[in-house]
Structure 1
Amino acid sequence: MSDLRADGDSDLRADGVRVLITGGTSGLGAAMAAALVDAGARVALTGRDAGRADDAAATIGAVGIGMDVRDEHAVERGVARAYDQLGGMDVLVNNAGIGMRTVNPRFMSEPQPFWDVSPDGFRDLVATDLTGYFLVARAVVPRMLEAGGGRIVNVSMNHETMVRKGFVPYGPARAGAEALSRVMAADLAGTGVTVNLLLPGGATATGMVPVAVDGLLDPTIMGPPIRWLCSPAAAGVHDQRIVAKDFRVSRRGGAG
């Protein structure tokens, strides 16, 4: 489901909502963090480098947490700190990820066949973009269940990119994360913890794609839908795939 609508600014407020965003130091994560702080949310953002996380958080009035999503022990420590700093957690935004440039800097002009991808590069990207989603959700969900509810938003990408030539391991890792999200939604149905997918709807200017590519979406496109997903208006929304490019805001409550 992608053509969703917020009926005015009140549906884009998240006053007092406590949100953890992984990979929030740049790109989509930074854009979502800034949008949520602007909407009144209390935000903690993570990055592998604690200093960079602190710097990014300080610029928007959030909490910075150093956390390597590949490491289950680092995840447990980071999640515990987020709960301590925020006084709880209402929403987890799984966003941390690395792109194709980490395994092939020329992936747009010189696609690399899968058999030329290094095993170490494959493992590191999958550990970040797929296993990381699992580890952070695994650390958060029992706490949400104990609290009686919560929300998880897993950031995804276009299906076409998942199977694009030369996109191993990025495409398969993101496809796996999307499948994981749907299974999470099924496992959590009826528990009070909701799970939804959110994606930009096209390549974005995040640094993962060479700047020479035309038509890149601005990362701020994620702002309105993530604010809505964290707002009271999205209570009960579950197992949806929301495309930011198709998300509409109606200022008078009419058609978007």
Structure 2
Amino acid sequence: MGESTDRVVIVTGAAQGIGRAIALHMATIGNRVACVDLPACRDEMNETLASAKERGIPGDQLFGIFGDVTQDGECVSFVEATLQRFGAIHGLVNNAAIGMQFIGHVLGGQRKRFFEVPIERWREVINVNVNGSFNMARAVTPHLVERHFGRIVNITTSYPTMLMAGFSPYGPSKAALEAATVIWAKDLDGTGVTVNALLPGGAADTKQIPASDGVDREKLLRPEIMGPPCAWLINQAGADISGQRFIANVWDVALNPDEAARKAGSSAAW
């Protein structure tokens, strides 16, 4: 499960999918979690909180915050709200993202070429996936540096997905975030704050894979596989683990977490 040290973590895009799976796993093992998502996802956030209650997670251990990660001022308010609620922040999981589901087929079918993607959609995806992650990291990092401890986990994607034909702008946005992971790790070297990338390792069973694609969802990866490696990165990984990428479907929960990390990890950004 990943040993808990009662840390406080902010998870963006936590109302559903991978974000929900990570938030619930972190809370289940004893961490306190601020779940961030859009006001339009209020119903989904309520489902996340209800799932926490069903798992026996105390109500004061996990709470929802509504706002938009593309707005830097709102990201500052997420940090302030978390500090007010829990008194500290130890980690950030940059999960909020827009996939290809609003642009065309994701798995199979005819995809749009980059110049056929509406410019508004290109800007929206880049703004959420890249700028939103930057905004959150920029808002929380001064607090982490001041504490001489912090863990930032950026949710990226597989290298083939970054380079796949017809996968603009999602692929380029995740490639940018992976490159940023390495740069931020270097910028924070020696501060006690680490930055790493975590990815499923294949298509996950979330709303980013629309029902219209007609795929066998039983063959998709379960979002819950992201929980154990994320918990290790937040709770157990040392300051020497930074600028790396970890693949969740390679993470073997039967192994000691440190051994699982060695098997599933590698240097980030090519």
CA distance in 1, matches of 2:243, 2:181: 8
Aligned partner of residue 194 in structure 2, secondary structure: strand
Q: Gaps spanning 5+ residues in structure 2: where?
A: 53-58, 261-270
CA distance in 1, matches of 2:131, 2:190: 25
CA distance in 1, matches of 2:259, 2:115: 49
Alpha-carbon offset, residue 213 of structure 1: 2.1
Query: Deviations along 1:26-76, whole A, 9 cap, x unmatched?
Result: 010000011111111001110011734751452214110012011111111
Measured at CA, do residues 114 and 142 of structure 1 come closer, stay the same or move farther in structure 2, by a change above 3 Å?
same
Larger RCO, structure (CA 8 Å, separation 6 or more): 1
Alpha-carbon offset, residue 253 of structure 1: 8.4
Aligned partner of residue 101 in structure 2, secondary structure: helix
Count of aligned residue pairs for this structure pair: 245
Query: Which amino acid in structure 2 is aligned with residue 194 of structure 1?
Result: T
TM-score by length of 1: 0.89
Q: Give 1:221's aligned residue.
A: 225
Q: Give 2:88's aligned residue.
A: 88
Measured at CA, do residues 58 and 79 of structure 1 come closer, stay the same or move farther in structure 2, by a change above 3 Å?
same
Q: How large is the RMSD of aligned CA atoms in angstroms?
A: 2.0
Q: Within 5 A, what are the aligned runs for 1:176-215?
A: 176-211=176-211, 212-214=214-216, 215=219
Measured at CA, do residues 255 and 230 of structure 1 come closer, stay the same or move farther in structure 2, by a change above 3 Å?
closer
Aligned partner of residue 101 in structure 1, secondary structure: coil
CA distance in 1, matches of 2:196, 2:106: 32
Question: Taking every aligned residue pair, what percent have the same amino acid on both sides?
Answer: 36
1:20 aligns with 2:20: no
Q: Give 1:58's aligned residue.
A: 49
Query: Which amino acid in structure 1 is aligned with residue 67 of structure 2?
Result: M
CA distance in 2, matches of 1:90, 1:189: 17
Query: Which amino acid in structure 2 is aligned with residue 119 of structure 1?
Result: I
Aligned partner of residue 97 in structure 1, secondary structure: coil
Q: Within 5 A, what are the aligned runs for 1:1-256?
A: 12-49=2-39, 51-52=42-43, 54-59=45-50, 60=52, 61=59, 62-104=62-104, 108-211=108-211, 212-214=214-216, 215-231=219-235, 233-236=236-239, 237-250=241-254
CA distance in 2, matches of 1:206, 1:22: 15
Alpha-carbon offset, residue 251 of structure 1: 5.8
Q: Gaps spanning 5+ residues in structure 1: where?
A: 1-8
CA distance in 2, matches of 1:196, 1:234: 10
TM-score by length of 2: 0.85
Aligned partner of residue 190 in structure 1, secondary structure: coil
CA distance in 1, matches of 2:259, 2:92: 29
Q: Give 1:4's aligned residue.
A: none
Query: Which amino acid in structure 2 is aligned with residue 240 of structure 1?
Result: Q
